[in-house]
Structure 1
């Protein structure tokens, strides 16, 4: 395949983070930017090397020969879902920022449009693409790790949006933030079958707190401790049946525990031996681990003409988990997620 001709719809802050990666992905030819605010579209085209800029994506589609389109903006159905579906129906492969829609039903509409059009779709849940998580997945695939049987995430993040009238529990926070650890959890553990969650919102302090218990289709169990916090904190821990465990801190630092601490005799424990990697990716000047890598993965999947991981189907399943968490908090009941 020749260079992959792409365009971006949306030139806000998140889109700009991704557009700055494009010159580092040689498989891409950055054809055009598009934004309702011409100054933004023109500035991003100039900064990141796009050939042209537009304020009307219909005009862009008429004038440009494109293979794939990235739709990146606010979490609104009229953008990611509706324009994403339109792009698929016009014959373009797509990338959308998370969430692809504001409901699981809307995310399923994108999946269906992808199937009907025969075009692929990827969603910007970049945690799974961070090098530390990719290495963790490789270590989990080694025979000595065994089967993943237990999982834990601790995730705190500032969030200006907590709750909206008529929406499920803490739904803006779910869409803005919780979708990241949820996708990463499914990347490591597979499909979720059962959810029980507790949650609270303190309006006076703008604080959300959640504790989630999970069961997976592979028989494993897990927990997620989630909430707003004064700073961004992320921790992932996965245990295997081979008496090994892997921990990733801040999506950058990886630890592997694979030596038993029990000495086999009364009162005897050894200091826990660990192997550690510090995978800070600041050398390529991209804000967070995973942004450049997800663009590289998008390019590779487009060249191979295969569905990417972090696909539209992945994101639909993430949205089902988010809805199950909110529903469990609201009802106080265990929520099943059927296959």
Structure 2
């Protein structure tokens, strides 16, 4: 069987997860990589046995016969590069967030629609075993009425992290702690609890020399009436401490915690379900805050491209978390409650 031919643009920190995931899927392979720093692209190509290296991704798109391209560049570049990929009639796989604002997200969605190509937004945390278990409990109605939820992202990003790449912490290319590090948690709250009706927030840049925020708190009021809080900081001493989601309902309380929603810390329901037996098995020790979700994520992408499955997350799904974070920033800036949709 002919393998799906993939390309990747941006061989930085997150690209390793993409290369590793595809290396475990026999029906697909990376055949080309592009990075403006040639050494970085060459190192990736050597490590993962990829034949073609480019410093200009446009040349890669022109020369290579590709089924899909993974975009692992700074967030602010995701829409423009994704549009270029779509205009070559190639399917788009973009890291989160898909854009730094709704306008960018909409342009990318429109380009993929126009060119009749798939748009996949990486939301690997949804596929972690712990989160799958929590989602099932919500979908089965085990909580009864859900009253409240809380998500904490108490991580550490030292100044050296921001200094290592000029784009980090800038409004043009990155956004702050909410849009970059906490975007998976924003997505998880929406995925678990439904649409957000309005948002109120405070943000601050307390200790890092960056344009965007390193700390903030947001209150999300869901259309269903659920009230949720999201507390985020990159200033936790001395290292990443907690990435958690807690849901409190009339018939159940669950906290999925650990460093990156990798450990079920509380799981209590009024009525028994067979899922209760596998709670311990769902816990895992992630190698980093990204977890193991890229592997099943790419399994789905490949199955969709081979017409065996429906996509788990598309552009319109990916747009939701961008819109919620944009509302958080708008509230923090104006001091007002912001209603959604924007």
TM-score (norm 1): 0.83
Q: What corresponds to 2:68 in structure 1? A: 68
Q: What corresponds to 1:191 in structure 2? A: 195
Q: What corresponds to 1:236 in structure 2? A: 245
1:190 to 1:158, Cα distance in 2 relative to 1, 3 A: same
**Alpha-carbon deviation of 1:125?**
3.1
Q: Is the 8 A contact 2:178 2:232 kept in 1?
A: no
User: When the two structures are aligned, how many residues end up with a matched partner?
Assistant: 320
Q: What corresponds to 2:318 in structure 1? A: 315
1:337 to 1:86, Cα distance in 2 relative to 1, 3 A: same
Q: What corresponds to 2:227 in structure 1? A: 221
Alignment of 1:32-181 (within 5 A): 32-77=32-77, 80-146=78-144, 148-159=146-157, 160=159, 164=170, 167=171, 171-181=175-185
Q: Is the 8 A contact 2:208 2:214 kept in 1?
A: no
Q: Is the 8 A contact 2:125 2:291 kept in 1?
A: no
Q: What corresponds to 2:165 in structure 1? A: none
Q: Structure 1 CA distance, aligned partners of 2:305 and 2:249?
A: 33
Q: What corresponds to 1:268 in structure 2? A: none
**Alpha-carbon deviation of 1:23?**
0.8
Could you give the per-residue CA deviations for residues 285-331 of structure 1, whole angstroms, max 9, x where no partner exists?
A: 99623232322232233233766333221222211111111111222
**Alpha-carbon deviation of 1:219?**
3.0
Alignment of 1:174-323 (within 5 A): 174-203=178-207, 208-228=214-234, 229-230=236-237, 231-232=239-240, 233-241=242-250, 243-249=251-257, 250-254=260-264, 255-259=266-270, 276-280=280-284, 288-304=291-307, 308-323=311-326
1:325 to 1:307, Cα distance in 2 relative to 1, 3 A: farther
Could you give the per-residue CA deviations for residues 14-53 of structure 1, whole angstroms, max 9, x where no partner exists?
A: 1123212211122312222222233322321222232333
Please say which structure displays the higher CA radius of gyration: 1
Q: Which runs of 5+ in 2 are unaligned?
A: 163-167, 272-277
TM-score (norm 2): 0.82
Q: Is the 8 A contact 2:176 2:214 kept in 1?
A: no
Q: Which runs of 5+ in 1 are unaligned?
A: 261-273
